[in-house]
Amino acid sequence: MRPLTEDETKTVFEKLANYIGRNITHLINRPDDPHCFRLQKDRVYYVRESVMRFATSVGRPELMSLGICLGKFTKTGKFRLHITSLEFLAQYARYKIWIKSNGEMSYLYGNNVLKAHVGKMSDDIPEHSGVVVFAMNDIPMGFGVTAKSTADARRLDPTGVVAFRQSDIGEYLREEDTLFT
């Protein structure tokens, strides 16, 4: 376990900013409850500082997880967000799409968001920007990138793709073997 280097921090923050924009400051500056980012075996964890201090007692080979895992660095140095980061993405999301109950299962099985399934979406989403997907009852379901801007999406036919899926909570079942260590 170690703090992120400058390059790593930049990569992670750029990725996060795709989804939560300037709200990223809410993650970093929490004077009442300071949190920090820590790297452990390629994975980046977002954790309360007090918890992190206790975790320093645990040896590197034995430490399996602390706080919430945001994602992992790939071998090529890119950073990939995991579904486990959804809690924070959903909290501070800049652009949101809500899907109707008939599209829930389709999305949870790993499909893209179709026009027919969109219940509502934020007004001013540009093309190819990060978006968090919610169910109509505001349960966060995953995140992805938009295929069309909000204006273009209005003119789309019902089978057209509004947003490409990047991650969904169905992965807790589908990817259990690879997602966590």
Q: Which of 12, 89, 141, 162 binds another protein (CB under 8 A)?
A: 141
> Does 136 participate in binding another protein (rule CB under 8 A)?
no
Cβ nearer to another protein, comparing 58 with 151: 58
Which region among 18-26, 46-54, 117-125, 159-167 touches another protein (by CB under 8 A)?
Answer: 46-54
Cβ nearer to another protein, comparing 125 with 141: 141
d(CA 44, CA 34): 17
> Does 157 participate in binding another protein (rule CB under 8 A)?
no
Local structure of residue 93 (DSSP, 8 states) = -
d(CA 96, CA 86): 13
Which residues, in sequence order, are CB contacts of 6 under 8 Å at separation 6+? none
Q: Which of 36, 145, 161, 179 binds another protein (CB under 8 A)?
A: 179
Name the token pair of 126: 């540009």
d(CA 51, CA 174): 30
d(CA 89, CA 46): 12
> Does 180 participate in binding another protein (rule CB under 8 A)?
yes
Name the token pair of 7: 């390059």
Length of the chain: 181
> Does 99 participate in binding another protein (rule CB under 8 A)?
no
Q: Which of 26, 34, 42, 54 binds another protein (CB under 8 A)?
A: 54
Binding site residues, another protein, CB under 8 A: 47-48, 50-51, 54-55, 57-59, 61-69, 84, 87, 104-105, 108, 135, 137, 139-141, 169-170, 172-173, 176-177, 179-181
